[in-house]
Homo-oligomer: A and B are copies of this chain.
Amino acid sequence: MALKIGLLGLGTVGTGTAQILLDSQGRHPLLQEIEIHRVGVRSPDKPRSVQLPDGVITTDLEAIVTDPTVDIVVELLGGLEPARSLILKAIVGGKHVVTANKAVIARYGDEIYTAANKAGVYVLLEAAVGGGIPVIQPLKQSLGVNRIHAITGIINGTTNYILTRMQTEKGEFADILADAQQLGYAEADPTADIDGLDAADKIAILASLAFGGRIKLQDIYCEGIRKVSATDIAYAEKLGFTIKLLARASRYEPAADNTPEALQVRVHPTLVPQTHPLASISGVYNAIFVEGEPIGQVMFYGRGAGAGPTASAVVSDILNIAGVLKTKEAGTQKSVQSKIQNPKSKIDTLHPLLSCSHQHYCAIAPMNELVTRFYARFLTQDRPGVIGKLGTCFGNHSVSLESIVQTGLQGELAEIVVVTHDVREGNFRQALDEINSLDAIDSIPSILRVL
């Protein structure tokens, strides 16, 4: 068996991928049976840090995905188009696909997996979440026997880098972001990272695997880190928390028994207790924390980006496909079962732990139904009785408080920090509305959720 790879894109990750494939000694022996057949690029004459055989590089991406000799198309272009169309064409042509493209999978996963199941091919995406961290494959295989309760991740390196620096340097968001851009840790247009959109794409993928249903991206609540201030980071630290941008998907357990099962999927800055394993994940590192029955808690940690780690994940997907193809080659007998059961689809010919068989969309509960602790910071008139009034408003809406502290003065205003017990978000918001109407309240600069 020599498996032929058609590689789309030779940027950072594409180059890293080619480097592993061209230098297989000391790695899994199966890699020696995998061959780079074609590499599609935009600028064929650009100097490259990887030496490919003559004639491999082409600018004709279409020709790669329709080349009958290519077995696996590795899509590392990024962006939505032409990536989506090329992936679909490759699938229709009976090619397996490996991709690092979280944006395409989070948006077009339905279309892509439906096509893949029909064609009987794999679409693997270990590199789409958490860089090199093995998390997709463990979720499909090792953790599949569990009932997953929640999956919580620090899955965007840029925001974790910024928040870590804000904490260690006591700096403000805008300054650290500007510096991160200069150093190449944040993009010129940082929106996708800073506003949580990248993390939302990734949690959609993780939730889909953990809970066995597809996720509509627009159902995910998404709030970035622009409004996180040095002040809040400092207060959080004093209270025993570290502020992290968490992406979290969990089973929604409604009070009423007749509500159908649903998930809660959200991305927002969160106060994480300093004793929690996620609190110590710093800088550009990522971690994914999984809770389930009966496994309890497990966490996967590593570099969330970069040529090496991401290429490791890409090539591990290629290896997994090679492994299963090789096993099938050695299969004992042709099965006719699959043809009979479902003539319109070849999904039965696929390895059930590598393929993606779920087809329904998960119901997502609204944020008002979320039950969580909150942290809020108020600026108020500096006069007696204000804390009492705040407490009364919270009490009116069944919001029970863990602590309420006047932390000092900001000019002529008093600053009050509140941490609640678990509360329904809808109730908390109603209490805030009532508080906002109080004369003594100047403003509410921060409202953050607590893990």
* Chain A residues within CB distance 8 Å of chain B: 16, 19-20, 26-31, 126, 132-134, 137-138, 141-147, 277, 280, 292-303, 306-309, 311-313, 315-316, 319-320, 322-324, 326-335, 337-338, 348-354, 357
Contact = CB atoms under 8 A, between A and B. Distances in A.
A299 B319 CA distance: 21
Contact of A19 (B294, B315, B334): B294
13 contacts: A19-B294, A28-B145, A134-B142, A134-B298, A138-B142, A142-B316, A292-B312, A294-B309, A295-B302, A296-B309, A297-B303, A330-B335, A331-B335
A309 B331 CA distance: 33
Nearest to A132: B295
Q: How many copies does the complex hold?
A: 2
B311 A324 contact: no
Given A143-B134, A145-B27, A352 B323 contact: yes
B293 A297 contact: no
Given A143-B316, A145-B319, A351-B324, A311 B294 contact: yes
A148 to B, nearest CB: 9
B141 A316 contact: yes
A143 to B, nearest CB: 7
Interface of A, secondary structure class, is mixed
Contact of A294 (B133, B312, B352): B312
7 residue pairs, one from A and one from B, having the closest CB atoms? A331-B331, A294-B308, A134-B142, A298-B302, A28-B144, A299-B301, A323-B353
Given A277-B280, A308-B293, A308-B294, A137 B147 contact: no
A328 B354 CA distance: 14
Given A337-B330, A348-B330, A294 B316 contact: no
Contacts of A328: 327-328, 330-332
Contacts of A133: 298
A337 to B, nearest CB: 7
A20 B294 contact: yes
Contacts of A19: 294
A302 B302 contact: no
Contacts of A319: 141, 144-145, 353
Contacts of A322: 352
A312 B31 contact: no
Contacts of A357: 29
A129 to B, nearest CB: 13
